[in-house]
Amino acid sequence: MRSERFGTGTYLLIGLILAGLVGGGFAIGYALGVGRGGVVDEALSEIAAGSKNEVSIDTLQRAAIEGMLRAAGDGYGEFLQPDEQRGFTPGVAGNFTGVGVWLGTDSQDRPIIGGVFTDSPAAEAGVKAGDVLLAVDETLVANLDSYSITELLRGDDGTKVDLRIERGKTEQTLPVVRRSQLASALNVANLKGGVTYLQPGPLVQGVANSSGKQLQDNASKGVLLDLRGNPGGLIDEGVAFASLFLEGGPVAIYKERGQAPVTLRAPFVGDGVTPLVVLVDRDTASSAEVVAAALQSRNRAVLVGSRTRGKAAVQKLVPLANSSALQQTVGEYRSPTDERVDGVGIEPDVKLAVTLDRDAALREGLSVLRGLMQARSTLEP
């Protein structure tokens, strides 16, 4: 997350659970005349009083503000009432209490388990990445957003929650007992031939450091980096994570209207030679896309999978009257070679069908990686 570097307010890379309000901004309602007899207030009052269908002022205000955002081309912006503002989760900074999964969607836009932390309650209960999530306890989740589902999955340490899932053509209910976990936990495996499989969860504080230690301890001959279903997180953490595989240099470019572009550079020199394949899919988003774009555009890795989500936008939370807030898109991140990611996504080098199952995609990635490793070995003296 970037803060104070590009002006006042709190800035967020989309995909991250949103931070609370911090300073900056001005009351948009005041600027437009809302609350002081302006044309917007006049229209709101007239529609609320005279419309054939009963409608509340709150509903009309939301529609008006979100209509302004759409008119500005802001597809992510929202008007948030006080009870809708998503708190800055402790998981972004260090740990959380829950079941140990992150969420994604399948080709039918159904909520799925995007990934499962190793040694988590979910892993112990038998939950697997790719499982379609049908219900949390008695609450059906098909029409809920990821924030709402996440809130259902969280709870006090030691409490039980039932996850109803669909795997293949079978439905089952898996009881899971919540507990406190590190949000920076990783899934790491040593595979045949010196391959290290590395799957980070959301890019929260500490993930780059933990990943660097794992890579150093494994002395890999090849790395398979799995960013499928990764919702991203903190931009600084994404830049640091990408730097693990780069020998310095640019990682991303930040662009904001009316401001000079800012190039974000690797904070340290990483491993720029070990063969690297990155698995991506339609749920690779936010700072995970920043990582993938950096490694692809600098010819450091081969990307395997399907086109990524295309959410590399930066938002600012602006406090409004009555403790409400405006969530406004103010900028975007691009690749080090200035290729656009937001609204476009990243096309992988080796394209796989969106409907290909996870294990088959993993085998394809391993096949590409072993090819890179073989090619490198033939070039070595």
Residues 76-105: tens digit of each pLDDT: 888 888 776 654 343 455 567 789 888 887
Which range is least confidently modeled, 11-15, 95-99, 128-132, 271-275? 11-15
Residues 50-78: tens digit of each pLDDT: 999 999 888 898 899 889 999 998 888 88
Q: Are residues 43 and 144 in the same domain?
A: no
Q: Determine, yes or no, domain membership for 326.
A: no
For the cut 60, the answer to whether the pLDDT of residue 137 exceeds it is yes
Q: Determine, yes or no, domain membership for 324.
A: no
DSSP run (H or E) holding 189: strand 186-191
Q: Last residue of a domain, which of 148, 182, 216?
A: 182
Number of helices (H), then strands (E), belonging to the chain: the values are: 10, 21
Rounded (10°) angle between helices 235-243 and 287-297: 30
Q: Are residues 252 and 205 in the same domain?
A: yes
Instruction: Name the average pLDDT for the chain.
Output: 84
Q: What is the CATH number of the domain that holds 257?
A: 3.90.226.10
β-partners of residue 161 are 176
Q: Which domain range does residue 136 map to?
A: 95-182
Distances (CA, A) of 129 to 85, 162, 163, 230: 29, 17, 13, 11
Q: Are residues 114 and 190 in the same domain?
A: no
Question: What's the structural domain count of the chain?
Answer: 3
Residues 298-317: tens digit of each pLDDT: 999 999 999 999 999 888 88
For the cut 90, the answer to whether the pLDDT of residue 205 exceeds it is no
* 360 burial level (CB within 10 Å; 0-12, 13-18, 19+): exposed
Q: Are residues 78 and 64 in the same domain?
A: yes
Instruction: State phi, psi for 347 to the nearest 5 degrees.
Output: -85, 120
Q: Determine, yes or no, domain membership for 18.
A: yes
For the cut 80, the answer to whether the pLDDT of residue 274 exceeds it is yes
Q: Last residue of a domain, which of 27, 55, 84?
A: 84
Q: What percent of the chain has pLDDT over 70?
A: 86
Q: Determine, yes or no, domain membership for 251.
A: yes
Quickly count: other Cβ atoms within 10 Å of residue 63's Cβ: 14
Q: Determine, yes or no, domain membership for 147.
A: yes
Label residue 23 by pLDDT band (50, 70, 90).
very low
Q: Last residue of a domain, which of 64, 84, 104?
A: 84
Distances (CA, A) of 237 to 8, 185, 205, 241, 370: 21, 14, 6, 6, 28
Q: What is the CATH number of the domain that holds 111?
A: 2.30.42.10
pLDDT at residue 158, as a whole number:
93
Q: Are residues 231 and 338 in the same domain?
A: yes
The answer, as to whether pTM is greater than 0.95, is: no
For the cut 70, the answer to whether the pLDDT of residue 22 exceeds it is no
